[in-house]
Structure 1
């Protein structure tokens, strides 16, 4: 699927952006949505041209400015009580020593649609004010994390694996050993056929199927394997569900978020302005570790109808859907819901939690349809 990358390819330090920029790639408003944090930019839902999101418009979610990494001096360490011996790999060794694999996977931030969850509950949440653009699908090429761990000799008592970033906050978050050693948990070196862009984890990042984006740690520097439970601020204070009805295990403030629920994306601006002409309404549906079985849509107070699913159908990735519509002028509301292969569907309302995570209820997408001027009407103006 992805081509093999030679050792040292793209090993130079990425070109520095302007001094006041915290990310490297351009984020033009015609492609990206600026959340105002300086490090978080969403993908415009109406600017996704194919099944995969191109690198130039894939959303950016970071906890600190993008670090500049020189692959020639970079190394990845694997250590901890859960391995028999610590090991270290440089960039060339990762590229050449281990079998390369490619997986197509969707990554979604747990805070996606936080602004819309706030509108549901009549409040504003702290955290990145995401609209609908903190989700994307790419082809990731790299090596299985399992292969790297096996080279260190995983002990029989190993329990958790915690990748750590070399960004300014040393972002880190543990995975159960079973998830870390899954066939499709990879240390990615390339994205959509190109070496990882700086903002997306160069030189190496983890890609974890079906889990919240925070599990796919970027800019890897070290991986701890432990025979004990592991904790960080990002599985105790953040990326947990806090509020009435949620109870967590100490020291976490609430249940730790792992998988993401079923939800849909409509490939239209919010609100959308359409012309009163025949057209196709399109979108994406994603169900985390599960597969999408059905997508339904409802226009205004009409009945629920089946949308057509479009290939490819790839485990751990979104599916595309579409339906034909000839709209009449006026104000309309579009609702879309997905059902996964376990029978889970989107609720009428999302559960409240203090940090504004996991909005996945059916959204009422506002549409304004405008009449198409005729030559006669234009001439009469």
Structure 2
């Protein structure tokens, strides 16, 4: 049976929160339960468009085809095991993370699954470079796009430009945090595309097409796009296809948060698809921005943990956090409406009640 987490957990230490209006088995990480740098597998958010397929690793094959390759190739897990192994610590974040806040800002829901802040996780991924796999089939010099396709019922697929596909940290992952991939996270093999939206990291890989032209699917033309009055359509898409994820920050508290009064430390995480986070600042009750302390681990295209000392007083408070990455990208005060509700990264006023 699929190992989809129980979405109805309500105990104080539950790892997941259910997602209103979500398709199939969607569950977001409860950030207040995270303690270390990596997201444990049991708490890593789940976003599936169709039921989780259970695939026999012994008979699984990955087909490489298309006019951008010199030849067609079929590979099994033993063939992948013969290639050089690499390990990368990277975040995967759904483009719709924090989508529910569009309704707060604009009075109507955008998209479908109403994620709060937990559609993101950081794991240690081990596998092989996609470039090394494609080399087995001979990538032509005039190749343009690479289209990975999943073995789920919808055959989920979303193209990558050849440059991103051949990047040193774009990999076919076979394990997660040192353990074999679970079914919900793409077993037996999935892509991990650094810094890009989670939809690019296609699960349950079964086929990869390489073409000498641009490729289009539903998921880069009618979904996972910035579509709306502020985003001119890039035909044949209904808007601007999403690629790199923006800078974002979170507090490791429930929404709303509850804490006891007295000397304490606020904790949270900040992420940018563009690289490392350079600064995190915190404002309490519209007070001055204070520089937070950053953790020792600050991986590119992953998050950094931050903390700030606070003398918490009894009553209701609002805490704002903003992050800036090494490219100078900073979280905005607001995000323009888009129909699919993607890339919400505005500074959030996090309500916190001090008992």
Contact kept? 1:111, 1:359, Cα under 8 Å: yes
Cα distance in structure 2, aligned partners of 1:124 and 1:174? 28
The answer to whether the aligner puts 1:182 opposite 2:170 as a matched pair is no
Which residue is 1:226 aligned to?
211
| Correspondence for 1:63 | 49
After superposition, give the CA deviation of every residue in 1:253-305 in whole Å (9 maximum; x if it has no partner): 11100001111011001011111021111000001122211000000021111
Partner of 2:226: 241
What residue number does 1:34 align with? 18
Paired residue for 1:293? 278
**SS at 2:79's partner residue?**
helix
Q: What SS is found at the alignment partner of 1:119?
A: helix
How far is 1:125 from its partner? 2.0
SS at match of 1:153: coil
Indicate if the aligned counterparts of 2:274 and 2:325 stay in contact, CA closer than 8 A: no
Could you tell me which of 65, 76, 79 is aligned with 1:93? 79
**Which structure shows the higher strand fraction?**
2
Whole-angstrom CA distance in 2 between matches of 1:248 and 1:211: 20
Query: Which protein has the larger Cα radius of gyration, Structure 1 or Structure 2?
Result: 1
* Equivalent position SS for 2:262: coil
Q: What are the Cα deviations for residues 331-380 of structure 1, in whole angstroms up to 9, with x where unaligned?
A: 1110000011111111111111011111111000011111xxxxxxxxxx
Structure 1 residue ranges without an equivalent (≥5): 1-15, 18-22, 371-381
CA contact (8 A) 1:185 1:206 kept: yes
Q: Distance in 2 between matches of 1:24 and 1:333?
A: 34
TM norm structure 1: 0.90
Q: With structure 2 as the length reference, what TM-score do the two structures score?
A: 0.96
* 2:339 pairs with 1:354: yes
Q: Distance in 1 between matches of 2:143 and 2:117?
A: 38
After superposition, the Cα gap between the structure-2 partners of 1:126 and 1:314, relative to the gap in structure 1 and judged at 3 Å, is closer
- Counterpart among 60, 69, 77 of residue 74 in structure 1: 60
Secondary structure of the 2:108 match is coil
- SS of the residue corresponding to residue 218 of structure 2 reads coil
Equivalent residue of 2:67, what SS?
coil
For residue 126 of structure 1, report the CA deviation from its aligned partner: 2.9
Q: CA RMSD in A?
A: 1.1
Could you tell me whether the CA contact under 8 Å between 1:33 and 1:44 is conserved in 2? yes
Worse overlay, 102-111 or 282-291: 282-291
- The one of 8, 18, 24 aligned to 2:4: 24
Matches within 5 A, 1:98-177: 98-177=83-162
The 5 Å alignment of 1:277-288 reads: 277-288=262-273
Q: 1:248–1:256: 8 Å Cα contact kept in structure 2?
A: no
**Inter-partner Cα distance in structure 2 for 1:205 and 1:64:** 16
CA distance in 2, matches of 1:342, 1:155: 33
Contact 1:209 1:289 in 2 (8 A): no
Pair 1:43-2:48 in alignment: no
Unaligned runs of 5+ in 2: none
8 Å Cα contact 2:27/2:46 also seen in 1: yes
| Superimposed CA distance per residue, residues 43-93 of structure 1 (whole angstroms, 9 cap, x where no aligned partner) | 001011200000001000111010010011110011001001011111122
Instruction: List structure 1 segments (4+ residues) > 3 angstroms apart after TM superposition.
Output: 23-29
SS of the aligned residue for 2:241 comes to: coil
CA 1:335–1:46 in structure 2 vs 1: closer, same or farther (change >3 Å)?
A: same
Range that drifts further, 341-350 or 129-138: 341-350
Rounded Cα–Cα distance in structure 2 between residues aligned with 1:242 and 1:24: 31
